[in-house]
Chains A and B, each alone.
Chain A
Amino acid sequence: MATMDPLPLEEVTHAAFNGVLRALEARKVPIGRFPGPIIVGLVAWPELQPGQMFRAVEVEE
């Protein structure tokens, strides 16, 4: 059985991002079909150090 804690408002954005990934997986749609923030999030964010995000976005554009 699972247990759960309430979700603070400051964590909603992060939780929603994970929720979008879960929803895309549920649709069985390849993530690559959705350009934009999802791609940046998947490809760039995990490898970035703080402060590097804007440089990565400029490269994307």
Chain B
Amino acid sequence: MSAELHLLCPSAQPDMEGAKVIGVVGGSTEEPLVSYLTEPQPVSNELLALSKPVEPTEVFRFAAPCVGDGCQHFDGSNCRLAAKVSVTRLTTISRLPPCRIRPACRWWSEQGRTACMRCPFIVTTTYAPPDDLRAAADPAVSVEGSKARQRLVDGARCGERVEC
């Protein structure tokens, strides 16, 4: 298994093998903001219970080893989601977030600072995504299509669930 397959996905599901909690989504509905844990924590029933009655991925950010071709965002060599997130108009932070998985993160490995500066504004499961994030999360939208979409101003459609 190559070293690249050990890269971590920073927007993983809690039931993925090796998943850890890396952050808690705070902020507001309009502008969520992830607070990164000083130390990633193994997923436990006690931690997951803290998110009830909503889904854990609405409250926590999880990291897990990238599943490569098992993920709809993987194009065979790179993560399309990371590429699309990196070109969104999401707010960026002024310096790299205090994220503990960065050395092993696929998004960082492929996109560098542009992904890291937007990462704190990503909610894995959200019902109120910004339009450009909605496009980024749509596997049917190509990286080029996502870039083109950023140039468009289209109407908001709220209340639709999006998985990043």
- On A, residues with C-beta under 8 Å from B are 1-9, 12-13, 15-20, 22-28, 34, 36-38
In the complex, which residues of chain A have a beta carbon less than 8 angstroms from the beta carbon of B26? 15, 18-19, 22
In the complex, which residues of chain A have a beta carbon less than 8 angstroms from the beta carbon of B120? 2, 4
For the complex formed, measure the closest distance between the CB of A19 and the CB atoms of chain B, giving whole angstroms. 4
Can you name 30 A-B pairs with beta carbons within 8 Å? A1-B91, A2-B94, A3-B93, A3-B94, A4-B35, A4-B97, A5-B35, A5-B98, A6-B38, A6-B98, A7-B23, A7-B37, A12-B47, A15-B24, A15-B26, A16-B50, A16-B60, A20-B50, A20-B54, A20-B58, A22-B28, A23-B54, A23-B58, A25-B29, A26-B29, A26-B127, A27-B128, A27-B159, A34-B53, A37-B52
For the complex formed, measure the closest distance between the CB of A42 and the CB atoms of chain B, giving whole angstroms. 13
In the complex, which residues of chain B have a beta carbon less than 8 angstroms from the beta carbon of A13? 50
Given A5-B98, A23-B59: A16 and B35 within 8 A (CB)? Answer: no
